[in-house]
Amino acid sequence: VASWAILGGTGAQGLGLALRLAAAGEPVIVGSRVAERARDAAEKIRARVPGADAMGLDNASASRAAERIVLSFPAEGLVDALGALAPELAGKLVVDVMVPLAFHRGRADVTAVAGAPSVGELVQERLPRSRVVCAFKNVPAELLQDLEQPARGDVLVCGEDASARAEVAAAVARLPELRAVDAGALANARYVEGITALLVNLNRQHRARTSISIVGLPA
Ligand SMILES: NC(=O)c1ccc[n+]([C@@H]2O[C@H](COP(=O)([O-])OP(=O)(O)OC[C@H]3O[C@@H](n4cnc5c(N)ncnc54)[C@H](OP(=O)(O)O)[C@@H]3O)[C@@H](O)[C@H]2O)c1
């Protein structure tokens, strides 16, 4: 069983995460609605990370082949994508990196998620038999993809299952310079998702590439 499947891993965020995991020596499977696109993305990973164990499959096959699944779809249309995959994801650790952003006049806003107060809560509601953990929502794709630079910053990790959060935190610890911060209950996904809108707006205002760091935690 491969370590990680990254569904929607042909997009900027999923590919960035797949690159970082592969660079840390984790086997990765890229998932796509179209297997050919997934195979192309896996080839990109092998080209950028010599010796990477990376392959590409359609999303359902990728879900079956791994125990730890990252969901990296656009937030719109998510419910349809999850419906088809729910049986494959039952019993698995599911890492949700998604943020429901919309842009109005150059400003990012969090949009309402139909049926739940956050994407994280929607995913857990739709996948009741999966252990859902939100993570990497505040880490920009550009930073993840730029393997020449360490991806500095904190990764807020929230979800209902403490052992699942710990499993994700252990994976974060394998990525140089990123630190996992246990953010407790899944309901905190509401605020974690909001922070991403702020970071996007800061990036525009300051022509920057921001991420977050939490101070004041016990060592
Ligand atoms: N970009 C960032 O910096 C960043 C940072 C933090 C969080 N995020 C979050 O991470 C998620 C992915 O971001 P992204 O920029 O990589 O997004 P994206 O490129 O728009 O989408 C990712 C992949 O999802 C698949 N997809 C598109 N529409 C779909 C649908 N209706 N149903 C199922 N699959 C669909 C596509 O893959 P195939 O066509 O190959 O199936 C696409 O390559 C988003 O929710 C975003 O909010 C992004």
Cβ of 97 below 6 Å from ligand 1: yes
How far is the CA of 202 from the CAs of 33, 128, 150, 180, 215, in angstroms? 33, 35, 21, 22, 19
d(CA 9, CA 70): 8
Residue 14 alpha carbon, nearest atom of ligand 1: 16
Cβ of 118 below 6 Å from ligand 1: no
pLDDT over 70 at 1, yes or no = no
Candidates 90, 157, 160; CA nearest to 128 is: 90
Separation of CA 10 and ligand 1 centre (Å): 8
pLDDT per residue as tens digits for the range 158-194: 999 999 999 999 999 999 899 999 999 999 999 999 9
Residue whose Cα lies nearest atom 48 of ligand 1: it is 13
Residue with tokens 């499959």: 57
Cβ of 50 below 6 Å from ligand 1: no
Out of 13, 15, 203, mutate this one to test ligand 1's pocket (max ligand atoms within 8 Å of CB): namely: 13
**The pTM of the whole model exceeds 0.75:** yes
Question: What average pLDDT score do residues 44-65 get?
Answer: 97
pLDDT per residue as tens digits for the range 66-111: 999 999 999 998 999 999 999 999 999 999 999 999 999 999 999 9
Contact 9, 74 (CB under 8 A): no
Gyration radius (Cα) of the chain, Å:
16
Cβ of 130 below 6 Å from ligand 1: no
Question: What average pLDDT score do residues 108-123 get?
Answer: 96
Separation of CA 74 and ligand 1 centre (Å): 4
Question: What average pLDDT score do residues 30-54 get?
Answer: 98
Contact 17, 144 (CB under 8 A): yes
Contact 86, 60 (CB under 8 A): no
Residue whose Cα lies nearest atom 43 of ligand 1: it is 11
